[in-house]
Structure 1
Amino acid sequence: MNSLTLLDSPLFGGSFVDAKMRALFDSDAFVSRCVETEVALAEAEARLGVIPRAAADAIAAAARTIRFDQARLTRETELVGYPILPIVEQLADACGEAGRYLHWGATTQDIMDTATVLQIRAALKLIEARLVETMDALRSLAAEHRDTPMAGRTHLQHALPITFGYKAAVWLSALERHQERLAQLRMRVLVVEFSGASGTLASLGPQGLAVQEELANVLGLGTPVITWHSARDGMAEVVQVLALVCGSLAKVAFDVSVMMTTELGEVSEPFVRHRGASSTMPQKRNPISCELIIAASKMVRQHSGLMLDAMVHDFERATGPWHLEWAAVPESFALTSGALVQSSFMLSGLVVHPERMLTNLGISRGLIVAEAVMMALAPLTGRQSAHDFVYAACRRAVETGRSLFDVLAETQDVAVPLGLERLQSLTSPENYLGSASTMVDLVLSGSRRHVEQ
């Protein structure tokens, strides 16, 4: 099958898109959700006596058996500009006499928005499930490597020692916050849209709001305070949160890809024959999952900006911004779910090399814990003097290629107050891990997750 876009490509699509998410947002699924909304509307109106009960039952029966003429649906959608009228015409024909009551009091955007909300509800469940899988992988890494020392890096330079478990727990903490965000946005996003042509429900007279509420009940959605045809903050929020999720995944992927470099060699993506292989360099094992995650993150970020543009609707119905959502919403969910699948795969099988972490930790010959010496010396000499003594020693160690301990042992202003035994301990990086392990425990226990306001 030929395709135009990356996400639908038979070559690349499987690398970027979770197949289950694709099934939630493909064109057939959208038509099904539109039909589901029309059936729910008829049911709601029948319950309230707006249309005959027999009509609602006939509409539901026709919806269960209809087979749309796809060629006609495509042709008429191109002509009309929207798929709802073509869907309604075919469904009404299938309903027979009851077809006259189909789409009663509704407008195109009512059906399409509600159908999209139904898709989002299912998609959020899948995103949350994939997020849990990734978080579980990070919890395992954080627990297993709680005390595995490695170099902490700031500005791509050695800073102070940390543990790999601490690094994994930091990654995990961001995803936990995204899990909360996804739960919190449901009340704002999973609401029905049924408001009529200009949003006032005028066609249903005094029963308009009752029908809206009953439709929400039938579909298991919330009821909005007021029409949101042109107030698109809910839809925009969904994509912003997806972009945040992808941003955090890309941070993990960037760290892992750098740690996989030949020079560092601290971790490796899971080994699968030929994965990450080069067509010409047999030794290569490229960070394929990391690359896919980072690329997906950039694409979802673009969609998050697009959704901010899509918020600028003119008057009560937009002349174009709404159409941006048709691309941004499904593609953002597709890419985010795909990035989560890649993240779960990569992290659950990540190969950690503690011995390389320890080797890299010692590359600076003790300079990485210069702060430890300074802080121990400060109570004895004053902070500024301690800083100056240790700073000078660091310069001599760099210039001469000697270890920090060897230089400090010859520095009377440091060696005498501290003593050589304590100085040896202070210049051993694995002894200066601060509260890293305790912080891992706090993240894994969730004891600081909820802060009282």
Structure 2
Amino acid sequence: MTISPIEERYGRPAVKSIFEQSYRLKCMLKVEIAVAEAQMKNRVIPEANLEPLKMLLKLGIDEPRMREIEKETKHDIMAFIRTVEEQSNHAFKFLHFGLTSNDVIDTAMALQLKEFYKFLMEDLKDIQESLMEKVSKFKKTAMLGRTHGQHASPITFGLKMATYLSEFNRHTERLMEVKGRILTGKAMGPVGTGASMGREAMNVNKDAMRSLGLNYELATGQLVDRDRYVEFIEILGNIAMTCEKIGTEIRNLQRPEIFEVMEYFESANQVGSSSMPSKRNPIESENVCSLSRIIRSFAVPEIEGAITWHERDLTNSALERFTMPYTCILTDFILNKLSKIIRNLYVNEKNMRNNLLSSPLCISENLTTQLTLKGIGRTESHELVREVSMKYFESSGNLQDILMKSEFGNLFTESEVERMSNPLEFTGSSEEICDMVIDQTKKLLGGIR
């Protein structure tokens, strides 16, 4: 029986496998083994043969048996421990010595996130490369800027893409910065003192985490402190925000009255509507936008779950079975989807040019600038251009004729007015910015290990 759409509709199999129960249990067993080895190294427990436990890493944990035990114990980690002991014929007498459930659960989660990080950084690299291609190709392609949904000063399509690329560069930097804080585990027992392991507790904690390729929690209660999880999920929410921002822009620019870009549409087979056969809807971008909202919503329960009674209670447990896996799986999914959308995006340069040239007032900023440079005060220049603009709106006349009948006609020749009214020549530093963002991205990606 399938209830959650994440089971068969959303998420890539390779990423979903990181959060499957079988892999989670494998990570938990790795934690138990690493701690046992650290305890033997520091003479907390006597030397023992851990091969029967290590064999289970290959064979896997008997999940049906574990579920049977959990029905009796009402405790999933105790069921895990007893299952491991049964499968290993009780060969190791110090399993889970000095530990508590969340030593194992939280450190296993850190191992899962460590594996997910590889996919996440590759996802970002892929989308950055897709955006770089568009920035480079269209850095000179002039188009209308739009503010408040209205025509504004000209930009280039490359610059629009460069703003998104720059955002993803910052997301990459954030993830690199917080990686050490996120990939953190602990082996310090039920209240964070390590008391059962005596004076070597801190060494056991350090050695076990280092052997797993993790940082270790220093001062905490029973849990790895949840400010770490909150920070991570909020960064993923931030990434989802950028994804939705791009998806929203594509959807708007695909509207027939604008039609400056369009998602790839497989004309041979794809259906846009069950009732209107002609439709070519931006469904992939809409899907990205929809899932982005779900991703961001998981930050709220994670923040709430970070607040527990004293050294720990169970109010974080159930919600984190959703927040961490779902946020990671869906973030990876929309990043991959958006990268394909961008890579295969149809860019209608002809319509960008036509829309720009059919909106003469988009150069009102330049008109104000030229008046000011001619010696008229900036505020007075602004008012003169505003008055000309209102006359243009109220008439069906030619903007250049209206300009020549205004103060412009006394200060500029007709050819000068024509030149300053050309929106194709008023894209400022767009091309230079595009080149700088591409260079920034290449340096950033080159420095990732």
Shorter-chain TM-score above 0.5 = yes
1:92 and 2:85 correspond: yes
CA gap 1:262/1:112 in 2 versus in 1, 3 angstroms: same
CA offsets, 1:148-206, max 9 Å, x none?
00000000001110000000000000010000111111111111221112221111111
State the identity as a percent: 26
1:55/1:101 contact within 8 Å kept: no
Q: Counterpart of 1:368?
A: 362
Q: Counterpart of 2:418?
A: 424
Q: Runs ≥4 in structure 1, deviation > 6 angstroms? A: 447-450
CA offsets, 1:385-425, max 9 Å, x none?
322322221112111123322211232x1122121111001
Q: What amino acid is the match of 2:172?
A: Q
2:61/2:83 contact within 8 Å kept: no
User: 1:449 Cα deviation (Å)?
Assistant: 8.8
2:364/2:385 contact within 8 Å kept: yes
Q: Distance in 1 between matches of 2:193 and 2:318?
A: 22
1:433-444 matches, within 5 Å, as: 433-444=427-438
Aligned counterpart in structure 2 of residue 348 of structure 1, from 321, 343, 346: 343
Matched residue of 1:159: which SS?
strand
1:262-281 matches, within 5 Å, as: 262-272=256-266, 273-275=268-270, 277-281=272-276
Q: Counterpart of 1:33?
A: 27
Matched residue of 2:184: which SS?
coil
Runs of 5+ unmatched residues, structure 1:
none
User: 1:19 Cα deviation (Å)?
Assistant: 2.1
Q: Mean alpha-carbon deviation: is it higher for 198-207 or for 161-170?
A: 198-207
Q: Counterpart of 2:384?
A: 389
2:221/2:312 contact within 8 Å kept: no
1:42-441 matches, within 5 Å, as: 42-68=36-62, 70-78=63-71, 80-227=73-220, 229-230=222-223, 231-272=225-266, 273-275=268-270, 277-364=272-359, 366-380=360-374, 381-411=376-406, 413-441=407-435
Runs of 5+ unmatched residues, structure 2:
445-449
CA gap 1:155/1:22 in 2 versus in 1, 3 angstroms: same
Q: How many residues align?
A: 441
Matched residue of 1:158: which SS?
strand
Q: Distance in 1 between matches of 2:251 and 2:85?
A: 55
Q: What amino acid is the match of 2:94?
A: Y
1:404/1:427 contact within 8 Å kept: no
2:221/2:311 contact within 8 Å kept: no
User: 1:224 Cα deviation (Å)?
Assistant: 2.1
User: 1:255 Cα deviation (Å)?
Assistant: 0.5
Q: Distance in 1 between matches of 2:60 and 2:301?
A: 36
CA gap 1:276/1:37 in 2 versus in 1, 3 angstroms: farther
CA gap 1:275/1:111 in 2 versus in 1, 3 angstroms: farther
1:292/1:342 contact within 8 Å kept: no
User: 1:384 Cα deviation (Å)?
Assistant: 3.0
Matched residue of 2:438: which SS?
helix
Q: Distance in 2 between matches of 1:96 and 1:239?
A: 40
Q: Distance in 1 between matches of 2:247 and 2:99?
A: 46
Q: What amino acid is the match of 1:342?
A: K
Q: Counterpart of 1:4?
A: 3
Q: Mean alpha-carbon deviation: is it higher for 242-251 or for 374-383?
A: 374-383
2:169/2:441 contact within 8 Å kept: no
User: 1:82 Cα deviation (Å)?
Assistant: 4.2
User: 1:314 Cα deviation (Å)?
Assistant: 1.0
User: 1:129 Cα deviation (Å)?
Assistant: 0.4
Q: Distance in 2 between matches of 1:371 and 1:62?
A: 70
Q: Distance in 2 between matches of 1:132 and 1:81?
A: 44
Q: Counterpart of 1:446?
A: 440
User: 1:74 Cα deviation (Å)?
Assistant: 2.4
Give the structure-2-normalised TM-score: 0.94
Matched residue of 2:2: which SS?
coil
